[in-house]
């Protein structure tokens, strides 16, 4: 009976995650994301201290991640997805990529968000910590290897950019993101 309950929980979790993935894929992921033109979208701006700050397209960063590292098949969430499931207000975002593994048994996620203002950064950081906590809770009793990957992840910030990488090769992915933001 215990084995059946564990199987049932795994099947339910898989069905829920698959449904979320299909929902995100079906919505087209247009939302508040950056454009997909493929052009390098890097702009130098002046911050409040009079220093120049580099602005990079989150879509370009994600594209670089995909070209430089190995990722499973990923689906991207849209405004409704990030708002309904994680309480992230798209109005606080200039642009974002919220990509998760299409395979519900993998914890892999690459989330890169650019806040509209410095005031929104702390809220986004808290929201991504919630994403991490929810992902850990999903994996903890069902797929211990994936739970360990989630547990090793951390939310990082760089100016207006807030990101979370949950992956076996997180260090490599974070290095690509960090280099793009320098």
Q: What confidence tens digit (pLDDT) does each residue in 21-42 have?
A: 434 444 443 333 333 333 334 4
Q: What confidence tens digit (pLDDT) does each residue in 169-178 have?
A: 999 999 999 9
- pTM given for the model: 0.73
Q: φ, ψ for residue 55 (rounded to 5)?
A: -110, 130
Contact by Cβ (8 Å): 102, 74: yes
Q: What confidence tens digit (pLDDT) does each residue in 124-146 have?
A: 999 999 999 999 999 998 899 99
Contact by Cβ (8 Å): 47, 53: yes
């Amino acid at each position: 009976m215990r084995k059946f309950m564990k199987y049932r929980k795994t099947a339910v979790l898989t069905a829920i995650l698959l449904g979320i993935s299909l929902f995100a894929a079906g919505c087209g992921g247009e939302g508040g994301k950056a454009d997909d033109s493929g052009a390098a979208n890097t702009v130098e701006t002046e911050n409040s201290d009079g220093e120049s700050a580099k602005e990079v397209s989150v879509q370009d960063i994600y594209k670089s991640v995909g070209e430089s590292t190995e990722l499973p098949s990923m689906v991207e969430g849209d405004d409704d997805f990030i708002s309904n499931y994680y309480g992230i207000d798209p109005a606080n975002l200039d642009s974002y990529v919220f990509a998760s593994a299409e395979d519900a048994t993998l914890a892999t996620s690459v989330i890169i968000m650019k806040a509209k203002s410095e005031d929104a950064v702390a809220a986004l950081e808290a929201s991504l910590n919630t994403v991490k906590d929810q992902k850990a809770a999903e994996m903890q009793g069902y797929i211990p290897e994936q739970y360990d990957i989630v547990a090793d992840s951390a939310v990082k910030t760089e100016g207006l950019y807030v990101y979370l990488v949950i992956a076996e090769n997180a260090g490599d992915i974070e290095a690509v993101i960090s280099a793009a933001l320098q």
